[in-house]
Amino acid sequence: MQLSTLEKLNEARSARRPAVVVNDISSGRAQAFIEGEAFPAEWEAAISETLRSGRPKLATLDDQPAFINVYLPPPRLVVIGAVHISQALARLAPVAGFDMTIIDPRTAFATAERFQDIELLADWPEDVLPTRPLDRYTALAAVTHDPKIDDYPIRAALEAGCFYVGALGSRKTHAARVERLRSAGVSQEEIGRIRAPIGLDIGAASPAEIAVAVLAQIIGALRHRDPEEQGHAT
Amino acid sequence: MTNEAKMLDPLEIAEAWHRKGRAVALATVIETWGSAPRAVGSHLVIDGGGNFEGSVSGGCVEGAVVSEAADVIASGVSKVLEFGVADETAWRVGLSCGGRIRVYVERIDG
């Protein structure tokens, strides 16, 4: 592999952009392609399939044995609200392999003492998200059930195509949220992507149980992503 | 990517080592059969002095891959290595899980 290929790959990875490397095993030649770039026409199908599935594979390209490796951004979890559920999530999510960030402008909630070893940003989502954009490999869970705090990041997550958007709140709270989003111009289809009430229906009662239900729902969304939605550049 | 993740990331390390003027080879798991401790796509980076980071197995065949990498670094010719219980070398270096893996080793040029 040429150093320039490795550099291109590492740059894409640190920018959280999906990439593939096609290794021609017989010649030793390697090429990196970032999602959204044009691929050689005869390789298009194999590369797109690898990006969709996230699974590296051996293939025959140009009648030569080739290995297609794929590098998808690691899943991230952004939680809006430094509440009791988030405290339990902060312990569970790293075990399941998620990088987790909590955002809450309410400094009484967002204290380092309540959230050790987790990135905690005591700012408004409006201030944080523009500099740390959400993407399709990010799950967003909004758990303050306060429209002033939750609404903006929910819209941002829908726009960014986050693979999971969940929102806490009773059916009544959610019905009011749907109305607000609709009048703000969010389409019915987009609104339908919000998981509310948040979490798998396992009868969770305590904050810790709700955290388990939320994390399980996020993992389900990650592993069952609509294949048609992947492989499309944003 | 956090700094700590970068420190353990074989591809970042490969780039950093190359920048420091070290000869670098990259090993990648390209196929597995049976129980294999590292998934297809996993990387091990090796330098000319036999230093390495990352893994292509649970520590079973890294030693053999590192010594093969010296040849790849010297010749610039990529290699595909196969390790498995049916293979004498692999048995000797001990892929004790009973699986079989193929590892592609290439030099980073540039």
> What would the pLDDT profile of A49-104 be if each residue is shown by its tens digit?
999 888 999 999 989 999 999 999 888 999 999 999 999 999 999 888 788 999 99
A205 and A183 housed in the same domain: yes
| Kind and range of the H or E run holding B12 | helix B10-19
A83 and A39 housed in the same domain: no
Domain ranges of chain B: 10-83+96-107
pLDDT band at B92 (very low <50, low <70, confident <90, very high): low
- Tell whether A67 is within 8 A of chain B (Cβ): yes
A228: in domain: no
Confirm if A9 and A68 have CB atoms less than 8 A apart: no
> What would the pLDDT profile of B7-42 be if each residue is shown by its tens digit?
578 999 999 999 999 999 999 999 998 877 788 999
| pTM as predicted | 0.70
* Beta-sheet strand order (sheet of A138-142): A119-121, A99-103, A76-80, A138-142, A164-167, A194-195
Q: Is the pLDDT of residue B1 over 50?
A: no
Total domain count for chain A?
2
Q: At what angle do helices A3-14 and B10-19 cross, to 10 degrees?
A: 130
| Bond before A197 cis per omega within 30 degrees | yes
Does B104 contact A1 at a Cβ distance shorter than 8 Å?
Answer: no
The CATH number that applies at residue A123 is 3.40.50.720
User: CA B79, B85, B89, B92: dihedral to nearest 10 degrees?
Assistant: 140
How far is the alpha carbon of B31 from chain A, nearest alpha carbon, in Å? 8
Place of tokens 């000797």: B92
| Kind and range of the H or E run holding A49 | helix A44-53
How far is the alpha carbon of B11 from chain A, nearest alpha carbon, in Å? 7
Confirm if A135 and A73 have CB atoms less than 8 A apart: yes
Amino acid at A177: R
A91 and A64 housed in the same domain: no
Percent residues over pLDDT 90 in chain B:
62
A137 and A177 housed in the same domain: yes
pLDDT band at A208 (very low <50, low <70, confident <90, very high): very high
A-B contacts (CB, under 8 Å): 56
> What would the pLDDT profile of A129-145 be if each residue is shown by its tens digit?
999 999 999 999 999 99
A143 and A81 housed in the same domain: yes
A215 and A166 housed in the same domain: yes
A34 and A98 housed in the same domain: no
Name the B residues in 59-98 with CB < 8 Å from any A CB. 76-78, 80
Does A23 contact B28 at a Cβ distance shorter than 8 Å?
Answer: yes
A162: in domain: yes
Confirm if A137 and A73 have CB atoms less than 8 A apart: yes
A58 and A41 housed in the same domain: yes
Question: What's the rounded Cα separation, in Å, for the pair A180 and A201?
Answer: 25
pLDDT of residue A233: 30
Nearest to A148 by CA among A176, A172, A170, A120: A176
A46 and A106 housed in the same domain: no
- Tell whether A8 is within 8 A of chain B (Cβ): no
pLDDT of residue A212: 98
A230: in domain: no
Please name the residues in contact with A234: beta carbons below 8 A apart, sequence gap of 6 or more. A36, A135, A136, A160, A161
Identify the domain containing residue A86 by its residue range: 74-222
> What would the pLDDT profile of A174-196 be if each residue is shown by its tens digit?
999 999 999 999 999 999 999 99
- Tell whether A182 is within 8 A of chain B (Cβ): no
A82 and A164 housed in the same domain: yes
Does B110 contact A23 at a Cβ distance shorter than 8 Å?
Answer: no
How far is the alpha carbon of B47 from chain A, nearest alpha carbon, in Å? 14
pLDDT of residue B90: 52
> Closest partner residue to B15 among A10, A30, A99, by Cβ?
A10
A85 and A195 housed in the same domain: yes
A232: in domain: no
Question: Which whole-number Å values give the CA distances from B41 to A34, A163, B6, B90, in the listed order?
Answer: 17, 23, 17, 20
Amino acid at A96: A
At A60, list the tokens.
């025959």
Q: Is the pLDDT of residue A228 over 60?
A: no
Interstrand relation of B24-33 and B43-47 (parallel, antiparallel or unpaired)? antiparallel
